[in-house]
């Protein structure tokens, strides 16, 4: 049996564009002999559509797109399997299923409804969808296909830890005499996630003894980045086919012949760069913007964001502004200029010192941290005003370590449409920076500093970033308490201080831009902590 794997990048609500993308990829694979072409979970509407599913017109357009694709299967000479939302038959409970439609020759053969609805991390599918535990095994051109949707295979406690389900839809399909398992997926990426996902598919194939196919979405939607990384795994466990990560693909696979699996690199830093570039590129493309503004300070964070933006959008679409005050070092401007010239980005200097002095007097010369924050807010005003005037988007430049402990200025350096490295620890920022050949050595080597007071260094206020990031990883990713952190060799008093800083800063993060997610638990929808709480 020949399958067409359609690793697509849908845009939420672009029903015409999404149908056209499915059709173009399916025609390509059908031309190479594919009998069935498989598109990702909710490929018709894009994933995740969130509360758009509560709008009847959105659901109607989604169903009209389904009908167009069913009719298309009568023209293509191959069947189609694709994801969409479908109404439930009941007048109680949730009104929709997360479904996949299998069609051929202009007719619907089967509709599979998702059994397991994730409600952890960034997922909230039970808000919209009803679960349907009924196994779906459909006969397609003489073969019995067990149909599954994304979370339906995330049931392996050995790989995943505690599982919130008491069912295994893949095993249910095996018991219903499926010959092949097909999973349509929209599984977002985090560092190493494509390799974990492959192990999961391998485990399903070994457990059931069935060749297992997973076709995953690629592209970015707001904070979520999807890698693709679709795979075909034989029933005895080896991977037959791997599709590329972070790129669209339409690949034809013959299940009767030995496959040639693409090799994925073992380089997390390179993967993270590609993911962030994809996140920037799709955010701009899907919101209709072309040009980015960056406040380039001469520090490592803004330099990395500028490099990522230039790679994502093209250097000609990135404009950097240096905004020195009396506390800025000469290198803050010179190093910024050097980077912009090497990248080919636009660059200018806007000295805000006179405006800072006026602001100090208007505010009654408050001194201290208030005056430090005033400089950052003036920079935010310049960037947002230019953005407003020119129709560009500001990219914020804060990293995860700073966002975590509130080492950032609300309405200042937190201004922007997208927080590009807000899920990248400071120690990783340096690793990423070293991958860009345009990065000036002076930026790589200077001690981190906000340069908002004389001789300021980040370590005046924070522990060394290696220590800070270890504490944050334990607390934010591992949910460790102080005793557990102490057992890991961390200073308990320092841990208490950092944890308090994290919790106090929650109100700031509620007002932060969208943070591109590449880690286990990024700030945003995946971490829901009350602002008003006992510390």
Catalytic residue set: 41, 114, 150
Q: What is the enclosing helix (H) or strand (E) of 495? A: helix 492-504
* Half-sphere exposure (Cβ direction) of 69: Cα atoms closer than 13 Å: 37
Residue 446 CB partners (closer than 8 Å, separation 6+): 298, 299, 300, 331, 335
CA distance linking residue 322 with residue 296, whole number of Å = 5
Tell the burial category of 212 from Cβ atoms under 10 Å away from its Cβ (0-12, 13-18, 19+): buried
Cis peptide before 428 (omega within 30 of 0): no
Kindly provide the residue ranges of all beta strands, DSSP E only, lying in 363-455, ordered along the sequence: 393-396, 418-419
Take residue 460 and report the two structure tokens written for it: 């005046």
The answer to whether the CB of 130 falls within 8 A of the CB of 88 is yes
C-alpha 93 chain-centroid distance: 30
Gap between the Cα atoms of 58 and 14, Å rounded: 10
User: Exposed, middle or buried: residue 91 (CB in 10 Å: 0-12, 13-18, 19+)?
Assistant: exposed
Six-digit token pair at 520? Answer: 């286990």
Cα separation, 63 vs 60, in Å, equals: 5
254: number of Cβ within 10 Å: 16
In whole angstroms, what is the distance from residue 265 CA to residue 15 CA?
34
CA distance 199 to 206: 10
In angstroms, the first-to-last Cα distance of the chain is: 60
Q: Which helix (H) or strand (E) holds 213?
A: strand 211-216
d(C-alpha 428, C-alpha 283), whole Å: 23
CB 488 within 8 A of CB 443: no
């Amino acid at each position: 049996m020949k399958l067409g794997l359609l690793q697509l990048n849908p845009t939420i609500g672009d029903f015409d564009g999404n149908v056209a993308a499915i059709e173009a990829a399916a025609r390509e694979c059908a031309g190479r002999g594919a009998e069935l072409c498989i598109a990702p979970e909710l490929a018709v509407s894009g994933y995740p559509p969130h509360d758009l599913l509560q709008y009847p017109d959105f659901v109607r357009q989604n169903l009209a797109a389904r009908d167009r694709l069913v009719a298309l299967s009568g023209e293509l000479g191959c069947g189609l399997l694709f994801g969409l939302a479908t109404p439930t038959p009941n007048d109680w409970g949730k009104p929709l299923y997360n479904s996949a439609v299998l069609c051929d020759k202009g007719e619907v053969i089967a509709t599979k409804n998702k059994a397991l609805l994730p409600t952890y991390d960034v997922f909230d599918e039970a808000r919209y969808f009803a679960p349907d535990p009924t196994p779906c095994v459909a006969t397609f051109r003489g073969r019995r296909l067990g149909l599954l949707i994304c979370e339906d295979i995330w049931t392996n406690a050995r790989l995943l830890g505690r599982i919130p389900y008491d069912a295994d839809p893949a095993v249910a399909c095996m018991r219903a005499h499926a010959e092949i398992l097909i999973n349509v997926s929209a599984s977002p990426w985090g560092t190493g996630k494509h390799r974990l996902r492959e192990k999961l598919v391998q485990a399903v194939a070994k457990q059931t003894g069935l060749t297992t196919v997973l076709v995953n979405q690629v592209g970015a939607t707001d904070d979520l980045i999807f890698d693709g990384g679709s795979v075909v795994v034989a029933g005895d466990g080896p991977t037959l086919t791997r599709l590329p990560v972070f790129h669209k693909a339409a690949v034809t696979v013959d299940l009767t012949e030995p496959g040639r699996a693409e090799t994925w690199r073992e380089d997390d830093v390179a993967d993270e760069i590609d993911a962030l570039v994809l996140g920037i590129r799709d955010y701009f493309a899907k919101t209709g913007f072309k040009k980015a503004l960056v406040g380039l300070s001469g520090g490592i964070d803004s330099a990395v964001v500028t490099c990522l933006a230039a790679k994502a959008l093209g250097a000609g679409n990135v404009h950097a502004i240096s905004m020195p005050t009396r506390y800025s070092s000469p290198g803050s401007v010179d190093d910024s200029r050097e980077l912009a010239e090497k990248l080919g980005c636009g660059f200018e200097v806007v000295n805000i010192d006179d405006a800072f002095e006026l602001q100090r007097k208007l505010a009654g010369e408050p001194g201290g941290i208030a005056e430090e924050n005033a400089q950052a807010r003036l920079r935010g005003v310049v960037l947002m005003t230019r953005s407003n005037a020119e129709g560009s988007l500001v990219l914020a430049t804060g990293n995860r370590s700073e966002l975590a402990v509130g080492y950032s200025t609300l309405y200042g350096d937190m201004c922007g449409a997208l927080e590009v490295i807000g899920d990248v620890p400071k120690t990783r920022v340096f690793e990423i920076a070293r991958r860009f050949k345009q990065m000036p050595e002076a930026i790589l080597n200077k001690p981190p500093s906000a340069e908002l007071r004389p001789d300021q260094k980040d370590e005046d206020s924070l522990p060394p970033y290696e220590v800070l990031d270890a504490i944050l990883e334990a607390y934010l990713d591992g949910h460790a308490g102080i005793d557990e952190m102490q057992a890991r060799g961390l200073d308990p008093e320092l841990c208490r201080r950092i944890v308090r800083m994290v919790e106090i800063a929650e109100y700031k993060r509620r007002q932060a831009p969208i943070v591109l997610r590449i880690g286990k638990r990024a700030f945003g929808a995946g971490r829901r902590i009350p602002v008003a709480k006992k510390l």
